[in-house]
Structure 1
C-alpha cells in the first residue's frame, strides 16, 4: 500500500492547507445515519476523528492505521478524548472486538473518484486484487447488520504543484498503470526536496465495486449520491 512514514511529518500541514474540508466531511458523516459506534479505516494522523470527537463526545470512535508514524501523531492528538481508541491494524487481517454501525474511509484505504456526470470508480491503496477482497471482507465482518460503509468522494486526479500554508510546494505527478495508476508525491522547500514517495493505486469500475461489495452483503444506497462527501453501502440485516 506504500510506505507513508516519509509523509507523516508533513501530513497535517498538507491536509489542512485546503486539501480536505474536515468540517464538511464530519457534517456529511453525521447526516448519513444514526449510530453510536463508528470505525475509521485508515485514520492517518486523526484529523477526521478529532473533529468527530469534538462534535459528538457521546460516540464510541475507533480508528485503525497501518503506519506507526501516522498512528503516533494520532495518538498524541487524541489522547484527551476518552471516547476514542486507536489500533495499528492491516485491514486485510483486521480483528476488532465488536461490530460498528458505521465504518468509513475518506481517502484512507478506499475512496471514489467522480468526474462530473461520469460514472464513479473506486480507488484503493491496496495494489493487489486479493488484498482488496480480503480487506473488504474484513470490513464487512465488522459492520453490524443494518449498518453502513461510507466511502469518501474525491474529484478527478491530475498533475499539480502549489504552495501550502508553510510556504513549501506540494505536488504530485500521475502515471498510468495497467491496474490503476501510480502517484509520485513530493514536497519542496525552495530548491530542496524534503519529501518524496511513490504509491501504486488499484482502481475498480463502479460495476466491479458493486459486485464486490454485494458479495460481502453490502448494498449501494443510491440516495446517498446527493451528498458531496460519501457514497454509502448498507449491510443486509441477518
Structure 2
C-alpha cells in the first residue's frame, strides 16, 4: 500500500510526532487545522476515532462530542471536511461509551482516574489524572461540545452529510457526503 493513500491531519505537533513514531512513512501526515485547512480535494473516506468528533453512547442514546466548542466552528469544520471529500465520499465517526468517572490501576502502583462534569449547556468537562498514593502527579482537562443525536444529524446534514442506511454499526456512524464539492474557482 502506498503511503499517499492515507493522510492524517492534526494541528498539534505532539500528536503528529506520536503518529510518525507509530506509523513511520506508511501515511502522509499534515499539520492542518480543520477550521482553516489547505487540503487537497477528492478523499474517498474521512474518519475520526476520538479526534475532533466522535459519538458518545449511553443509556439515553447517542451524542456527538466535539473538541470544537462553538457551533459556528463545528459548521465550518464539517463543511471543510465535506469539501475535501469527493462527492459521495464517506465520513466515519467512531461511537464509544460515554465519558464517565472511573479509576483503573496502572503499573508501578499508579492509578488512572477520570472525572466528568456535565454543565447542562451542551458542554462537558473531562479531567484525566494519574495518581500516586491518592495524589495527582499528572492532570489534563478537556472540554467538549455535545450535540444530542437528532441535533447532530441535523448539523451534519447542514454541512453536507447524510446518515447512510445502516450507518450505525455500533463502532462507527457512517455518513455520505451529499453536496457537490466546492472548487477553488468559486
TM-score, reference length from structure 2: 0.86
User: After the TM superposition, which of the residue ranges 162-171 and 204-213 deviates more from structure 2?
Assistant: 162-171
- Following superposition, the deviation at residue 107 of structure 1 comes to 0.9
Q: Is residue 2:21 matched to residue 1:76?
A: yes
Distance 2:61 2:134 in 1: 40
Aligned to 1:198: 141
8 Å Cα contact 2:41-2:83 kept in structure 1:
no
Q: What residue is the counterpart of 1:130 in the other structure?
A: 72
Q: What's the counterpart of residue 30 of structure 2?
A: 87
2:131 to 180, 185, 188: 188
What are the superposed Cα offsets for residues 62-115 of structure 1, whole Å, 9 maximum, x if unpaired? 00112211211212322242xx10011111112212321100001111111122
Q: TM-score, normalised to structure 1's length?
A: 0.69
Q: Which residue of 2 aligns with 1:100?
A: 43
Q: CA RMSD in A?
A: 1.9
Q: Identify the structure with the greater helix proportion.
A: 1
When the two structures are aligned, how many residues end up with a matched partner?
178
CA distance 1:194–1:71, shift in 2 (3 Å): farther
Partners of 2:176 and 2:126 in 1: CA distance: 31
- Displacement after TM superposition at 1:189 (Å): 3.9
Q: Higher strand share goes to which structure?
A: 2
Measured against aligned partners, the alpha-carbon deviations of 1:126-184 in whole angstroms (never above 9, x if no partner) come to 11111111111111111111111110001132111111356531111111222221111
**For residues 58 and 171 of structure 1, do their structure 2 counterparts lie closer, same or farther at Cα, with a shift above 3 Å needed?**
same
Unaligned runs of 5+ in 1: 1-56
Distance 1:212 1:175, change over 3 A: same
Tell me if the contact between 2:75 and 2:159 (Cα under 8 Å) persists in the aligned partners.
no
> Which residue in the other structure is 2:184 paired with?
none
1:224 correspondence with 2:167: yes
